[in-house]
Amino acid sequence: MRIVILGAGFGGLELASLLSAEFGADAGVVLIDKSDGFIFGFSKLDVMFGRTTADHVVHRYADVIKPGVRFVQSEIRSLDPVARQVVTDDETFEADILVVALGADLDPAATPGLAAGGQEFYTVAGAFALRDVLERFAGGRVVVGVTSTPFKCPPAPSETAILVHDYLQARGLAGASHVSLVMPLGVPIPPSPQASQVVLAAFAQRGISWHPGLLVTALDPDRKTVLLSDGGEMPYDLFLGVPVHRAPAVVLESGMTVEGWIPVNPETLETRYPGVYAVGDVTSVGTPKAGVFAEGQAAVVAAQISAQLRGTATRAAYDGRGICYLEVGHGMIAKVDVTFVSGQSPVGGLDGPSAELVADKTAFGSERSRRWFGKPWHATQLDS
């Protein structure tokens, strides 16, 4: 069969690797992405805060040399889920099985004033540019703010607020600075009360102002003011924003979305189009938009495809479980284990925080780097 995977993030890379491992040269996989490399989300923080450089965190897709997998770097121009046809800048692909794993696009321009008066740290370019911005920053009022829901990696704004404070403190600027966090969530990490308590304690220890249940609707660059969803305002000297998230334009134009995202069967990740699956941030499956959930969904799709190719049945179903690593400063990391099941309240546990979990996070990255690219991931030393 011709299996075409759109997007080489956590979901696409995991699916291609699993199919190659099972079927070898007969896998028949085409993996398409417009970028030339993959970056772990946590690596953006490492670059932002000067712990490594951009060239050390990019995993080149040219290194994806797997039997039965062909990587194509090209822009996807159209997607027809009925015909299972994909048109790129370079060629057209007809698929027997199509998997959409294109993630969520980021739209800083959707928030008035953000591009002119603030910085965003969710795109790769935005996060990498912040390294120089932070180096030049002489201290003052820092606001970390979320501009819309849903947004990827819900713990990341909290991590950023903590790490900004510690970065400024290390530069001797903490006394002349103040950090605030604006988030739409009622607590930093809703599925895990323990994790939320750890984060709130870190805020209290550092004097970080926490503003829950709010969105940033606009920036007024002339007045250096953040406008909030409740009508309030907040002054700033440096704004670090989480921009509006949208499904990629090619997905919206395909007719696959409902209320902006692709609906799927929450257990099998099948869309309403025969032979078409979707995984990860581009879906409305009900889990957070984070790579580890896309990876788990990809494993289920791999089992579904394998059963179809072998003419067998499978009981594989997505369990909604995932883990994430949470930096809480001073070289300490916590591991949050959460499960999202459709129709049920999410539940989550917490391991740590501890310095020992730094090695656990390194192992997480290294395992996936070896599996997908054949090379280990070299973690940076966390600030102490």
Q: Which domains, from first to last, does the chain contain?
A: 3-104+247-310 (3.50.50.60), 115-245 (3.50.50.60)
Strands 347-354 and 333-339: antiparallel
Considering only CA atoms, give the Rg of the chain. Answer: 21
User: Which stretches within 74-229 are classed as H helix?
Assistant: 114-117, 124-136, 156-170, 193-206
What is the spatial distance between Cα 77 and Cα 32, in angstroms, rounded to a whole number? 12
- Whole-number pLDDT of residue 201: 96
- Whole-number pLDDT of residue 383: 38
- Are the beta carbons of 239 and 119 closer than 8 angstroms? yes
Number of alpha carbons in the 13 Å side-chain half-sphere of residue 323: 14
Q: Amino acid identity of 15?
A: L
Q: What is the mean pLDDT of each run of 10 residues along the chain (384 residues)?
A: 96 97 95 94 91 88 91 97 97 97 96 96 92 95 97 94 96 95 94 92 97 98 97 97 97 96 96 97 92 96 95 91 91 91 79 92 92 74 39
- From the list 324, 329, 314, the residue with the least C-alpha distance to 383 is 329
- Are the beta carbons of 261 and 251 closer than 8 angstroms? no
What is the spatial distance between Cα 3 and Cα 188, in angstroms, rounded to a whole number? 39
- Whole-number pLDDT of residue 345: 77
- Whole-number pLDDT of residue 368: 93
- Whole-number pLDDT of residue 63: 85
Q: What is the DSSP string of 96-118?
A: SEEEE----EEEGGGSTTHHHH-
Residue count of the chain: 384
Quote the tokens at residue 163.
């790490």
Q: What is the DSSP string of 182-218?
A: E-SSSSSSTT-HHHHHHHHHHHHHHT-EEETT--EEE
- Whole-number pLDDT of residue 53: 87
Quote the tokens at residue 156.
């990341």
What is the spatial distance between Cα 255 and Cα 262, in angstroms, rounded to a whole number? 9
Q: Kindly report the pTM of this predicted structure.
A: 0.93
- From the list 260, 322, 254, the residue with the least C-alpha distance to 11 is 322
- Whole-number pLDDT of residue 379: 52
Quote the tokens at residue 87.
């048109």
Q: Amino acid identity of 111?
A: T
